[in-house]
Structure 1
Amino acid sequence: MDVAISVSGALDPDAEIRSLFRWLQREEDVPSPKFTPAAPEQEDMGAVSDALVVVLGSGGAGSVLARSLSVWVRHRTSDLKLTFRGEKGTVQLDGKRIKDPVALVEALREATGE
């Protein structure tokens, strides 16, 4: 099951998505992310940053990804939003709420149906 992760709301979303890419590459238990062009939403104006696609298999990879993302977010200095796009829909979390790994797990489950 694939989940696309995009970053918005930060001063430099492109730098943040690259930072997230490097972070996830170092995580042993998270499948390697791949860049893909982000699909623009109807309300988006201008260029849309790339998204990362992570293939979540069985065995709790979504929970591991959520924990990793919550640690990465704690190290951010600007407000940002993470958007998860999966088979079941799109979920967006404000960076201030992402400090809670449970919120991330729920967002991933909602987007992927896992």
Structure 2
Amino acid sequence: MSTTIQVRVTGTADPEDELRSLLRWLKADDEVGPSAHGVLAGSAPPHPEHMGTLLDIISLTVASGLSATQLAVAIGQWRGTRRRTPDVTLRRGDTEVTVTGADAGTVRAIAELMAEPGREERPDDGGTA
């Protein structure tokens, strides 16, 4: 079973460039890469007066085997490499989580976001970043 999550980066001059960087980071991560597939996408239809689509999200499909801890740590590590630390917001349906670190509260929030409706999931609180 897989889950699709929209990922948005804010607080930066070039969100599309940061999304590309985050997507490369997640694909290269030994823990996240094999369990996640992401593509850049637009959250709105293209504007008729502009060429192309504004790429402002990553549509990230994650396998059920990927833990919230692994995803939170990978995003936290990527944020730590940025000159200006951007905010990363993950959204699934009506649930939204903004990542500001990889603490236990963030991991729990991401676990709730990744959980299938009607299925309880306990995050692995064993690691910190």
Q: TM-score surpassing 0.5?
A: yes
| 1:11-49 Cα shifts (integer Å, max 9, x gaps) | 22121111101111212332121222135xxxxxxx965
User: Is 1:80 equivalent to 2:82 in the alignment?
Assistant: no
Which residue of the partner structure matches residue 44 of structure 1?
none
Aligned residue among 30, 42, 48 for 1:37: 42
Aligned length: 104
- Segments of structure 1 that go 5 or more residues without pairing to the other structure are 40-46
Which residue of the partner structure matches residue 69 of structure 1?
75
Kindly, what percent of the aligned residue pairs are identical? 26
1:85 CA drift (Å): 0.6
For the pair shown, which has the larger CA radius of gyration, 1 or 2? Answer: 2
1:87 CA drift (Å): 3.2
- Segments of structure 2 that go 5 or more residues without pairing to the other structure are 45-52, 116-120, 122-129
Larger relative contact order (CA 8 Å, sep ≥ 6): 1
CA distance in 2, matches of 1:49, 1:106: 28
CA distance in 1, matches of 2:96, 2:54: 16
CA distance in 2, matches of 1:107, 1:77: 26
Scaled by the length of structure 1, the TM-score of the pair is 0.72
RMSD: 2.5
Which residue of the partner structure matches residue 43 of structure 1?
none
Aligned residue among 8, 16, 34 for 1:6: 8
Runs (4+) off by over 6 Å: none
CA distance in 2, matches of 1:104, 1:17: 20
| 1:47-85 Cα shifts (integer Å, max 9, x gaps) | 965211222222343321111111101111113211111
